[in-house]
């Protein structure tokens, strides 16, 4: 009994030292904000207020931006350990600054160009010759101009005053603004304005990226991981409780903005973050690579710049080391338990003890596990597999897993994949459709690992499954929201521009012709102003449907903005046939639209351009069609 007491005392000391380490003093760190206190940084306020940083062992100080001081340089110099920056962090990385992007807080950038409706400016090309205020670090706006065929060196830029009064009083015609902030003053005072966003031209940067330095990440990856997770937890809380955060900001941080202004900022940020579709902080490496290509087009990055190196990787060396530490810790506890078991239960054979431990871990693992033999017969089936596939263990033992879970048309492929695991003695991976007991299908991610059995001549496979149906559905929703117009269901400006580029490339490759049609609805604004936006929206929906139904299935149509549409007629045999297509479109659009027992009438001004007759570049083809449309519209006004 004395030996048992000594072992219990030893374990108690071991666990006591672990608890003592967990209660160590908080580590002080600083977070450099990119602007003054406002809802833009609500997630970090929430992480402080809710104790997420404290629970992560951190004592966090928030630093406001100072005039003339670059927040990124503050972090690189060591004055702060973390910071909030724009997507121009990529340029810092290219120039040798050791930055690591940890999370993207806003999935879409709020930066845009604002013009007043009274200026008469309705497209980005009209701004090329006007006085503009564009703030520093706005390369996405210059990329927007370049994408529209406008030479940025010819823009008439004046220093940005950060005062919208300069726009209101006509000292400039356009001004860069944040759609989450400055537009509040316009909306609350009934000032009509237009926002030109880079996303209209397929340029979609992230907004407000949380970052640190490679030096800190290499030296203390665990601290970085704890700070990142606590910050994201703070953002999740903030976006679920915006009114509470407004009160917190006003009471503890600043009264520079009114409650209404802060609530406006919260709503606009929600629209850019889309937390209902994508996890807050999510980073898409492919999208960062597309941003790098945009910088390359501006001459700021080489074409082959690899953005992957500047992005946080949760499954990197630190994650492996942490997993290794957890494994050693778990292994130590397991060894202690086994040692105690040997003391108390000497009469049990060690193999039986290990088998029971394995069965306990197998049955209660938080992931679906099933053990099968080389013929696909099920030998083990854990509780999580019961939850996902709805079969009780007693119902499946001895049955063939492929007949049970895999649709017949995929059974052979999956059987071959699992067989290759035990034949090659390697882990295999797959994503495939599975069938539940109730007949419902779901998409699962599988890993198949061969194990030796008591019989040395036989090998079984442990199959691990994770249900990713909801995850894939969220990805599809995010794709739909990013590429299709919510009102009309047509491809949005970014997608139709991309499709036009592909169509032009096909035409060049196969030596065929195509036509670009720029459509602008006439009489739409009076309808919208007279009957309201709901009626105007229905007019746009029906007009879009008529355009789509008039075209061939192979042709393309997308909504550019407002009442403007772009049509691409592919594989055009003869340019002389196009007038008949335009005539059909005009007839379809001019048909009366019945809304709320009213018959409304509109028409369209349509301008055209041809490849290869007029141009062989996307922007030139659109510009020629746009100019042709304005000539049609002008002639129509003169006839009236």
Same domain, 406 and 535: no
CATH number at residue 385: 3.30.450.20
Of 178, 201, 224, the domain-final residue: 201
Are 412 and 561 members of one domain? no
Q: Domain boundary residue among 416, 445, 472?
A: 472
* pLDDT, position 322: 52
Residue 287 lies in a domain: yes
The average confidence (pLDDT) of the chain is: 86
The answer to the question of residue 479 being in a domain is: no
Is residue 359 very low, low, confident or very high in pLDDT (cuts 50, 70, 90)?
low
Is the pTM higher than 0.75? The answer reads no
339 located within any domain: no
Residue-number span of the structural domain to which 291 is assigned: 27-107+206-310
Asked if residue 335 belongs to a domain, the reply is no
* Residue 463, phi then psi, degrees to nearest 5: -105, 120
Report the number of distinct structural domains present in the chain.
4
pLDDT tens-digit series, residues 215-268:
999 999 999 999 999 999 999 999 999 999 999 999 999 999 999 999 999 999
Per DSSP, which regions of 150-206 are E strands?
156-158, 174-178, 193-196
Q: Do residue 498 and residue 602 come from a single domain?
A: yes
Q: Of all residues in the chain, what percent carry a pLDDT higher than 90?
A: 50
- 405 shares its domain with 429: yes
CB atoms within 10 A of CB 302: 11
Which CATH number covers residue 507? 3.30.70.270
Q: Is residue 17 part of a domain?
A: no
Give the mean model confidence (pLDDT) for residues 548-566: 93
**What's the pLDDT band for 7 if we cut at 50, 70, 90?**
very low
Please tell me whether residues 378 and 432 are part of one structural domain.
yes
Residue 333 vs residue 385, higher pLDDT: 385
Q: Are residues 410 and 457 in the same domain?
A: yes
Whether residues 391 and 457 share a domain: the answer is: yes
Task: For residues 154 and 217, state if they share a domain.
Answer: no
User: 563 and 605 in contact (C-beta within 8 Å)?
Assistant: no
495 and 628 in a common domain = yes
- Tell me the pLDDT tens digit for each residue of 26-63: 999 999 999 899 999 999 999 999 999 999 999 999 99
- Confirm whether 300 is domain-assigned: yes
Determine the Cα–Cα distance for residues 338 and 335; give it in Å rounded to an integer: 5
Residue 141: count of CB within 10 angstroms of its CB: 25
**Each residue of 464-479: pLDDT tens digit?**
888 888 888 888 888 8
CATH number where 75 lies: 3.40.190.10
Instruction: Select from 172, 201, 230 the last residue of a domain.
Output: 201
Cis peptide before 612 (omega within 30 of 0): yes
95 and 211 co-located in one domain: yes
Please report whether residue 610 resides in a domain. Answer: yes
Task: Please give the Cα distance from 511 to 611 (Å, whole number).
Answer: 10
pLDDT tens figures, 180-225: 998 999 999 999 999 998 888 778 888 899 999 999 999 999 999 9
Q: What is the pLDDT of residue 317?
A: 53
**How many percent of the chain have pLDDT more than 70?**
88
State the pLDDT at residue 50.
96
**164, burial (CB in 10 Å: exposed 0-12, middle 13-18, buried 19+):** buried
Q: Using the Cα atoms of residue 236, residue 240, residue 243 and residue 247 in order, give the sign of their dihedral.
A: negative
90 and 67 part of one domain: yes
Q: Are residues 298 and 377 in the same domain?
A: no
Residue 8 confidence (pLDDT):
43
pLDDT at 429 over 60: yes
pLDDT at res. 168: 92
Please check whether residue 336 lies inside any domain of the structure.
Answer: no
Q: How far is CA 79 from CA 70, 88, 107, 212, 354, in A?
A: 12, 20, 28, 12, 53
Higher pLDDT among residues 186 and 638, named by residue: 186
φ, ψ of residue 148 in degrees (nearest 5):
-90, 10
Q: Where are any strands of DSSP class E within 250-386?
A: 368-372, 378-381
**Which of residues 418 and 582 earns the better pLDDT score?**
582
| 438-445 contacts, C-beta under 8 A, 24 or more apart | 438/390, 441/407, 442/388, 442/467, 442/469, 443/467, 443/468, 443/469, 443/472, 444/368, 444/388, 444/468, 444/469
Q: Rounded CA gap, 176 and 160, in Å?
A: 8
Q: What is the 3-state secondary structure (H, E, C) of 515-575?
A: EEEEEEEECHHHHHHHHCHHHHHHHHHHHHHHHHHHCCCCCEEEEEECCEEEEEEEEECCH
């Amino acid at each position: 009994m004395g030996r048992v007491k000594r072992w219990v005392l030893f374990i108690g000391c071991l666990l006591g030292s672990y608890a003592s380490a967990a209660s160590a003093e908080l580590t002080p760190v600083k977070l450099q904000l990119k602007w003054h206190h406002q809802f833009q940084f609500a997630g970090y306020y929430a992480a402080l207020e809710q104790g997420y940083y404290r629970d992560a062992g951190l004592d966090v100080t928030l630093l406001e931006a100072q005039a003339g001081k670059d927040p990124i340089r503050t972090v690189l110099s060591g004055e702060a350990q973390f910071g909030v920056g724009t997507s121009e962090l990529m340029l810092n990385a290219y120039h040798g600054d050791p930055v690591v992007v940890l999370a993207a807080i806003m999935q879409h950038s709020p930066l845009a160009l604002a013009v007043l409706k009274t200026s008469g400016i309705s497209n980005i090309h009209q701004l090329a010759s006007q006085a503009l205020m564009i703030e520093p670090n706005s390369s996405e706006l210059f990329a927007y101009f370049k994408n529209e065929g406008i030479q940025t060196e010819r823009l008439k830029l004046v220093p940005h005053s950060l005062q919208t009064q300069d726009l209101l009083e006509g000292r400039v015609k356009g001004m860069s603004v944040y759609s989450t902030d400055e537009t509040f003053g316009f909306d609350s005072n009934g000032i009509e304005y237009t926002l030109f966003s880079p996303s209209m031209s397929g340029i979609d940067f992230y907004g407000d990226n949380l970052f640190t330095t490679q030096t800190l990440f290499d030296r203390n990856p665990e601290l970085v991981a704890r700070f990142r997770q606590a910050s994201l937890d703070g953002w999740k809380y903030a976006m679920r409780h915006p009114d509470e955060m407004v009160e917190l900001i006003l009471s503890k941080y600043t009264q520079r903005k009114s409650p209404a202004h802060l609530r406006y900022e919260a709503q606009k940020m929600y629209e850019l973050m889309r937390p209902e579709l994508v996890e807050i902080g999510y980073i898409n490496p492919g999208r960062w690579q597309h941003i790098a290509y945009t910088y390359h087009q501006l001459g700021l990055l080489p074409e082959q710049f690899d953005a992957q190196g500047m992005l946080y990787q949760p499954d990197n060396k630190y994650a492996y080391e942490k997993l290794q530490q957890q494994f050693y810790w778990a292994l130590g506890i397991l060894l202690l338990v086994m040692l105690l078991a040997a003391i108390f239960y000497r009469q049990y054979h060690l193999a039986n003890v290990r088998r029971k431990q394995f069965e306990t871990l197998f049955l209660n693992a938080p992931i679906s596990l099933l053990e099968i033999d080389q013929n696909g017969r099920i030998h083990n089936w854990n509780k999580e597999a019961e939850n996902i596939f709805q079969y009780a263990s007693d119902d499946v033992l001895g049955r063939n897993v492929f007949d049970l879970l895999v649709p017949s048309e995929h059974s052979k492929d999956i059987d071959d994949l699992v067989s290759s695991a035990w034949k090659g003695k390697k882990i295999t991976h797959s994503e495939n459709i599975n069938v539940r007991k109730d007949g419902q299908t779901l998409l699962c991610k599988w890993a198949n690992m061969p194990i030796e059995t008591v019989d040395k001549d036989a090998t079984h496979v442990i199959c691990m499954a994770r249900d990713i149906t909801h995850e894939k559905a969220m990805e599809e929703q995010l794709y739909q929201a990013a590429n299709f117009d919510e009102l009309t269901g047509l491809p949005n400006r970014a997608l139709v521009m991309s499709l036009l580029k592909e169509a032009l490339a096909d035409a060049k490759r196969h030596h065929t012709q195509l036509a670009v049609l720029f459509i602008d609805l006439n009489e739409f604004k009076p309808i919208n102003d007279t009957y309201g936006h709901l009626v105007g929206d229905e007019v746009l929906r029906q007009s879009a449907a008529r355009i789509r139904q008039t075209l061939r299935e192979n042709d393309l149509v997308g909504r550019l903005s407002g009442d403007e549409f772009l049509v691409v007629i592919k594989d055009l045999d003869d340019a002389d046939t196009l007038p008949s297509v335009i005539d059909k479109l005009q007839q379809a659009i001019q048909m009366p639209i019945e809304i709320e027992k009213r018959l409304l009438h509109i028409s369209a001004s349509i301008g055209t351009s041809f490849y290869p007759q007029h141009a062989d570049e996307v922007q030139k083809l659109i510009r020629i069609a746009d100019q042709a449309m304005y000539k049609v519209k002008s002639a129509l006004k003169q006839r009236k």
